[in-house]
């Protein structure tokens, strides 16, 4: 939350809770009684008590004095809001836009299934504790493909799964049949991965499949997959390593490959004979980027390194331990473990997990669940045949971003109902127009169905959003606080804060009338000389004797003494009583003190004058003067508002609170 939001909420709520800590009165049943009328607005006893008890401590009795103070603060607050409305500040485009933005943020927690949201965070944390190694076979088919094409793809993947269950090797089948191009080289092996590194449905199926088993078909936006889970291990965590690398390439001759193996074996032998890792790196490693810093690599986690490299690192448990030579597609490595970070506790990374989920497709699950609740709560009814009529009016032009809304001009029927609102085919037509796509030809029916599903979901959430104030009084109150806070921020800034800063003439007049409120206490004008030794102190004393007569400055003394190196430090200022421990120990009279040994240094103080109490200048007290001037301006403003607007308090109702 930015500083502006903090200020406006403080402005509209803190003032209204200053007395709440001193109260504990249970609200009575006559909360609808009008307690007061401010600027024509009725304020009930219940409304007043609600803000009065905000942040209250329930173990204290009511304090009549604080109640009276609070009542005046509340009246002042309402007067300012009334003035802001009178000036039309709540009708400006800037105000409406700002309030709308804050309301949208405040509404988010109410517009998804909190149970699902929390479950997703817990699920992500549990999965983060394990790494999965899996292979897959892919048969491509788009999410909006024609149902016949989808069925063909599904039958293919089912057939391939049956072949593997009947005994064929998964990797071999992947190389021959998978439509993932990399499978021809790696047999579909994806290496180790953890949460958030794969598409959510794929991730879920992998984590839910036993080691050594082949999953049922799972569909993602790429098509149908079957997954062979090869291993599950405790999470690698975050690791810091160094390596010695001898590079090999695909086009190396057998002799070059042999030479590389001999070189890495030589490096390993030197390590085994006691040479330090950094020494062997400098002598053998061909990784130019890391060889200059002992072979050090950046911190990494699961899935960030090639599989064999990562697998070798996972075998290291002690800091400083290193692997035997490991072969990867890039060459030979000897890897040393430098450091390792374990998975943080849940509460430490809950915020991070929540943020990651919000940025991933799985974030739609709570909204989907919430939309289902809305349907049930508000009696969702649809005329599905009216959706199907769009199959005839949405054509290939839609997929080229050129669909004309006029093609659906004849569709005006009822589509669905949520609560007291009907949604028509015209509404859906406009939705289609606002969500164009440009892509290769796709099937019309799946595209329409997908658009309709999204339209229904968004409509359900939007409808629930429109009912929040009526359904949740706390939400309504919070939005009202933001509403009033924004108004007060703008108007108070104009009338008080900025005015006090810009009105330099008024500030000077205010200071002149009140300068005795900004006094210096008794002070000592003195210079503290901190010398390296007695010899330096002796030189300083000689210069101080001539200081007044010769007109020596502290800068001159410092420059004269510190010719070759700094042996003297001078602090010159006006000290208040009890401000400085050293100054408190000396005699407050003009002259130079005796030498004092402090922390191995020789210190002497030259007292220039004892200054009696006097007003601070405007520049010396500007912060305090400005703050007091703002308080003065606000009081004057409030008095003006009290004369402008009527204030009526029902003392009988107020007495019932006391």
Nearest partner of 99 among 480, 495, 490, judged by Cα: 480
Token readout for 158 is 């089912």
In this structure, are residues 211 and 139 in contact, taking their beta carbons and an 8 Å threshold?
Answer: no
Neighbours of 425 (CB within 10 A): 20
**pTM, 2 dp:** 0.69
Q: 153-202, pLDDT tens digit by residue?
A: 999 999 999 999 999 999 999 999 999 999 999 999 999 999 999 999 99
Specify the pLDDT at position 3. Answer: 43
In the predicted model, what is the mean pLDDT of the chain? Answer: 91
Q: Quick one: pLDDT at residue 419? A: 96
What is the torsion angle, in degrees rounded to the nearest 10, for the CA atoms of residue 136, residue 140, residue 143 and residue 144? -170
Q: Confidence class of residue 401 from pLDDT cuts 50, 70 and 90?
A: confident
Rounded distance between C-alpha atoms, residue 408 and residue 444, angstroms: 14
Q: How far is CA 221 from CA 134, 199, 351, 650, in A?
A: 19, 9, 28, 66
At 437, the pLDDT band (50, 70, 90 cuts) reads confident
Residue pLDDT, tens place only, 252-268: 999 999 999 999 999 99
Closest CA to 529 of 452, 607, 459: 607
- The residue with tokens 């706390």 is 474
pLDDT at 12 over 50: no
Question: 47 falls in which pLDDT band (50, 70, 90)?
Answer: confident
Smallest CA-to-CA distance from 203 within 364, 360, 367 is with 360
308 neighbors 234 (Cβ within 8 angstroms): no
Q: In the chain, what are the helix, strand and coil shares in percent, each to the nearest 5?
A: 55, 20, 30
Mean pLDDT across 239-260: 95
Helix/strand/coil for 402: coil
Rounded distance between C-alpha atoms, residue 604 and residue 16, angstroms: 55
Q: Provide the token pair at 546.
A: 């001539």
Sheet arrangement for strand 223-234: 189-193, 130-140, 223-234, 218-220
3-state secondary structure of 587: coil
462-499 tens-digit pLDDT: 999 999 999 998 899 899 989 999 999 989 999 999 99
Q: If we measure between CA atoms, which residue out of 100, 87, 1 comes closest to residue 487?
A: 87
Confidence of residue 59 (pLDDT cuts 50, 70, 90): very low
- In 3-state terms, what secondary structure has residue 424? strand
* Residues 531, 535, 540: CA angle, nearest 5 degrees: 60
Distance CA 265, CA 408 (A): 74
pLDDT of residue 643: 96
CA distance 141 to 446: 12
The two tokens of residue 154 are 């599904």
Look at residue 617 in the predicted model and tell me its pLDDT: 96
Banded model confidence at residue 4, pLDDT cuts 50, 70, 90: low
What would the pLDDT profile of 624-642 be if each residue is shown by its tens digit?
999 999 999 999 999 999 9
Q: Is residue 309 a contact partner of residue 333, using CB atoms and an 8 Å limit?
A: yes
In this structure, what token pair is assigned to residue 458?
Answer: 């968004």
Q: Strand 647-649 to strand 34-38: parallel, antiparallel, or no bridges (unpaired)?
A: antiparallel
pLDDT of residue 441: 64
Q: Which of 38, 249, 232, 223 is nearest to 145 (CA)?
A: 223
pLDDT for residue 297 is more than 60: yes
Judge contact between 264 and 334, C-beta under 8 A.
yes
Whole-number percent of the chain with pLDDT over 70: 94
Res. 307 pLDDT band, cuts 50 70 90: confident
pLDDT at 548 over 80: yes
180: closest CA among 194, 195, 160? 160
The confidence band for 61, taking pLDDT boundaries of 50, 70 and 90, is: low
d(CA 242, CA 270): 16
For the cut 90, the answer to whether the pLDDT of residue 144 exceeds it is: no
């Amino acid at each position: 939350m930015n500083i502006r939001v903090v200020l406006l909420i403080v402005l509209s709520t803190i003032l209204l809770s200053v007395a709440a800590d001193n109260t504990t009165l249970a609200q009575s049943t006559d909360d609808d009684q009008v307690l007061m009328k401010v600027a024509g607005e009725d304020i009930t006893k219940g409304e007043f008590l609600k803000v009065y008890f905000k942040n209250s401590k329930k173990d204290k009795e009511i304090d009549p004095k604080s109640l009276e103070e609070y009542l005046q603060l509340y009246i002042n607050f309402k007067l300012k809001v009334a003035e802001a409305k009178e000036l039309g500040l709540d009708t400006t485009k800037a105000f409406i836009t700002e309030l709308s933005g804050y309301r949208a943020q405040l509404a988010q927690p109410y517009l998804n299934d909190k149970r699902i949201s929390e479950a997703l965070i817990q699920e992500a944390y549990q999965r983060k504790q394990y790494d999965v190694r899996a292979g897959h076979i892919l048969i491509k088919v788009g999410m909006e493909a024609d149902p016949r094409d989808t069925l063909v793809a599904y039958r293919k993947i089912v057939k391939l799964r049956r072949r593997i269950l009947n005994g064929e090797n998964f990797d071999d089948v992947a190389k021959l049949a998978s439509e993932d191009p990399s499978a021809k080289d790696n047999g579909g092996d994806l290496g180790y991965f953890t949460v958030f590194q794969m598409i959510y449905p794929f991730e879920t199926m992998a984590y839910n499949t036993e080691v050594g088993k082949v999953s049922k078909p799972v569909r993602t936006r790429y098509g149908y997959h079957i997954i062979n889970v090869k291993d599950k291990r405790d999470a690698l965590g975050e690791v810091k390593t160094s390596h010695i690398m001898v590079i090999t390439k695909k086009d190396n001759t057998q002799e070059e490959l042999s030479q590389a193996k001999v070189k890495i074996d030589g490096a390993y032998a030197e390590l085994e004979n006691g040479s330090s890792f950094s020494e062997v790196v400098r002598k053998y490693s061909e990784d130019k980027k890391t060889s200059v810093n002992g072979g050090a690599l950046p911190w990494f986690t699961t899935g960030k390194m090639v599989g064999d490299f990562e697998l070798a690192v996972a075998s290291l448990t002690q800091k400083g331990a290193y692997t035997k030579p490991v072969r990867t597609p890039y060459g030979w490595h000897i890897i040393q473990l430098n450091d390792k970070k374990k998975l943080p506790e849940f509460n430490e990374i809950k915020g991070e997990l929540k943020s990651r989920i919000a940025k991933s497709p799985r974030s739609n699950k709570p909204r989907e669940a919430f939309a289902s609740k809305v349907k049930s709560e508000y009696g969702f009814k649809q005329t599905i045949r009216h959706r199907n009529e769009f199959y005839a009016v949405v054509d290939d032009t839609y997929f080229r971003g050129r669909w004309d809304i006029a093609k659906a001009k004849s569709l005006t029927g009822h589509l669905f109902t949520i609560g007291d609102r009907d949604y028509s085919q015209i509404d859906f037509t406009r939705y289609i127009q606002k969500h164009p796509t440009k892509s290769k030809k796709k099937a019309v029916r799946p595209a329409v169905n997908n658009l309709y599903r999204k339209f229904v979901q968004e409509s359900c959430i939007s409808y629930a959003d429109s009912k929040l104030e009526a359904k949740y009084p706390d939400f309504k109150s919070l939005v009202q606080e933001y509403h009033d806070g924004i108004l007060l921020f703008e108007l108070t800034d104009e009338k008080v804060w900025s005015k006090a800063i810009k009105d330099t003439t008024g500030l000077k007049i205010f200071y002149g009338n009140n300068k005795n409120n900004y006094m210096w206490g008794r002070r000592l004008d003195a210079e503290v000389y901190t010398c390296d030794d007695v010899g330096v102190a002796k030189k300083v004393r000689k210069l101080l004797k001539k200081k007044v007569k010769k007109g020596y400055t502290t800068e001159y003394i410092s420059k004269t003494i510190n010719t070759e190196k700094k042996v003297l430090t001078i602090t010159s200022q006006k000290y208040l009583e009890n401000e400085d421990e050293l100054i408190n120990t000396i005699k407050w009279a003009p002259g130079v003190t005796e030498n004092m040994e402090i922390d191995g240094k020789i210190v002497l103080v030259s007292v220039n004058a004892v200054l009696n109490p006097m007003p601070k200048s405007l520049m010396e007290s500007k912060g305090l003067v400005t703050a007091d001037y703002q308080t003065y301006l606000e009081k004057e403003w409030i008095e003006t508002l009290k004369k402008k607007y009527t204030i009526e308090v029902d003392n009988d109702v107020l007495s019932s609170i006391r």
